Structure 1
């Protein structure tokens, strides 16, 4: 079904863009930490040169920077893979794609949840089933029509010559009525009708199974969408700001003569939280795209 294919294409394209945007956001977060790491290395070297630091601290600061370099390379690989996936769906050169633009409002759908739940047969997964049901019904109609006799009528005109005795014979106009009666209709054609009706019933039963499966999938996706909204909002509004403040505070304390380890711990925890956040943001985006592009009337783009 062309409409179902179009919906799947739009959904896949949106999800590929979301993966690309999430990878870029992770790279941006890592770059911000690399600036802190570079400052920590300078501070460690300065304290070591001034006789107030230790070689261990200097090496630990350098190791933290190298870890961030590795993380950035890994994130860059994810970015390139996401760019290639999106380019494949858009049929463009990956070099022309940039992870720019703001996130869609993942808290809003183009259609209400009630409409999604009430229009199952209009969703991409179920669109082909109506054509299958129509085809099975047409097969039943053909089988039933085959039981009716075929009537036909024909006419012919014959011009007759004179008889051997010299008498002229009248011309002849003939009508012929034919009735095609199927033989053994009770056995052969009744079985054919019954078979076609059984096929229609099977298609309708499979359609109902597909409808129930789609309803289950829709409810699960809605539940995931709601859960991920809460999780992402909590990280954006509370956990990430706290992690950023802790990291900056720990680095400022080290600059003021404090220990390096609190900053190393804070940096590590902040980075893990950033990675977790982009993962959850991607999951939220995928759930949103799965819902936003279910119906043909949805015209939302990321």
Structure 2
């Protein structure tokens, strides 16, 4: 073999070595940091805490008696003279009325608002779980694009070297290169550039989507090169069997449980409408002196009043039936939620198991074989014993397999993040302290 092919071969392997060297250290966006930033900056959580505080204040107000009613007037005033001393029944009155709500409705109304406030901590925990899943998916989209771009850029130098080899061999007629080898090398470089453009566009889009949660400045940072350990972990033993129990502690289910309690109180409130509403009143009447100067006694009136819920068919009965129907509707909603979560969790588990098999196949068998094939084809070509197209095709296949493994790993991590969202546990959440959960 002449000196030129040996030098070109050395250059190719040198490009491979240089491509494998790590780049300069730069600030990186870790997944945990992105999730914590997104949760900290989520205005929805603050809104929920404010809503809980409002409901707790309203619960106190609902338990209080209605404001008393004060009336001031003139009674039995003569229309002919408007003289307050003309008639003995004319009087200036001041009255006081206090309404007493039906049955136990005040306590139930207060309990209802308090129970509604207890929904909010579980809704916030559900929101945090959703944010973790969403940000993890967006982070993985960015990681997948970045990793694929890095793989292509690491291999672009080799394809450029192959193009130079083909062109130099064709020019010198020392390696048996043909014109179609030059065209093939140029074509593959163009395809690599096209893939880089598409992946760069995907990376930019992923950064914009992630920037909605963590801010545009942090989203511009490169994500860590390696997959976080928490996304590579294995699933706990007995996955599907433990899922059903975990689902009952899911924050969305716990929130629905609280809503069921709220609706049960609403049914009790509807039953209070069958009881009378009471009121007590007192009135003082001042009478002026008679025209002859005789004193007249002032008058005091006291009494109680109540309504008569007799005709209940079109009012109380309907409202009670409606409240009971809403209670059953919420219970049905809970059943549907559990079914949906369980089906999605089982699907995520099955998908993770299949992806684990594919990852093992790629890492243990497929990638080593493709690397061996690419090395053999490249060596054969450099020794004038192989076809240029075959060497390029083998290298392209190896690059595609590397990128496909990145896609599979990212997909597996996405399903694991979704499974963790579906099995989120909210059993230790306090019920009535909105200020503690804003951090």
TM-score > 0.5 by shorter chain: yes
Deviation at residue 189 of structure 1 after TM alignment: 1.3
Single out whichever of 235-244 and 155-164 deviates more from structure 2: 155-164
**1:73 and 2:163 aligned:** no
Q: Which residue of 1 aligns with 2:103?
A: none
State whether residues 129 and 207 of structure 1, in contact with CA within 8 Å, keep that contact through their aligned partners in structure 2: yes
Q: Which residue of 1 aligns with 2:215?
A: 91
Alignment TM-score, normalising by the size of structure 1: 0.83
**1:136 and 2:263 aligned:** yes
Query: What is the distance in 2 between the residues matched to 1:127 and 1:91?
Result: 31
Match for residue 197 of structure 1 among 324, 339, 351: 324
State whether residues 208 and 216 of structure 2, in contact with CA within 8 Å, keep that contact through their aligned partners in structure 1: no
Deviation at residue 162 of structure 1 after TM alignment: 10
More helix by share: 1
Single out whichever of 235-244 and 88-97 deviates more from structure 2: 88-97
Query: What is the distance in 2 between the residues matched to 1:90 and 1:231?
Result: 33
SS at match of 2:338: helix
Match for residue 184 of structure 2 among 60, 68, 79: 60
1:178-216 Cα shifts (integer Å, max 9, x gaps): 343213135531232122111211221122122212211
Query: What is the distance in 2 between the residues matched to 1:71 and 1:6?
Result: 35
Query: What is the distance in 1 between the residues matched to 2:396 and 2:353?
Result: 29
SS at match of 1:93: helix
Q: What is the aligned-residue RMSD (CA, Å)? A: 3.2
Deviation at residue 231 of structure 1 after TM alignment: 1.3
SS at match of 2:152: helix
Q: 1:45 to 1:171 in 2, by over 3 A?
A: closer
Deviation at residue 26 of structure 1 after TM alignment: 1.0
State whether residues 40 and 251 of structure 1, in contact with CA within 8 Å, keep that contact through their aligned partners in structure 2: no
Q: Which residue of 2 aligns with 1:24?
A: 146
Match for residue 102 of structure 1 among 216, 226, 242: 226
Query: What is the distance in 1 between the residues matched to 2:146 and 2:360?
Result: 19
Query: What is the distance in 2 between the residues matched to 1:245 and 1:297?
Result: 50
Q: 1:297 to 1:209 in 2, by over 3 A?
A: closer
**1:239 and 2:363 aligned:** no
Deviation at residue 61 of structure 1 after TM alignment: 2.2
Q: Which residue of 2 aligns with 1:220?
A: 347
Q: Which residue of 1 aligns with 2:416?
A: 288
Q: 1:167 to 1:266 in 2, by over 3 A?
A: same
Query: What is the distance in 2 between the residues matched to 1:162 and 1:99?
Result: 94
**1:251 and 2:365 aligned:** no
Query: What is the distance in 2 between the residues matched to 1:67 and 1:188?
Result: 74
State whether residues 256 and 334 of structure 2, in contact with CA within 8 Å, keep that contact through their aligned partners in structure 1: yes
Query: What is the distance in 1 between the residues matched to 2:363 and 2:426?
Result: 32
Single out whichever of 141-150 and 287-296 deviates more from structure 2: 287-296
Alignment TM-score, normalising by the size of structure 2: 0.59
Question: Which blocks of at least 5 consecutive residues in structure 2 are unaligned?
Answer: 1-122, 428-439
State whether residues 263 and 327 of structure 2, in contact with CA within 8 Å, keep that contact through their aligned partners in structure 1: yes
Larger Rg: 2
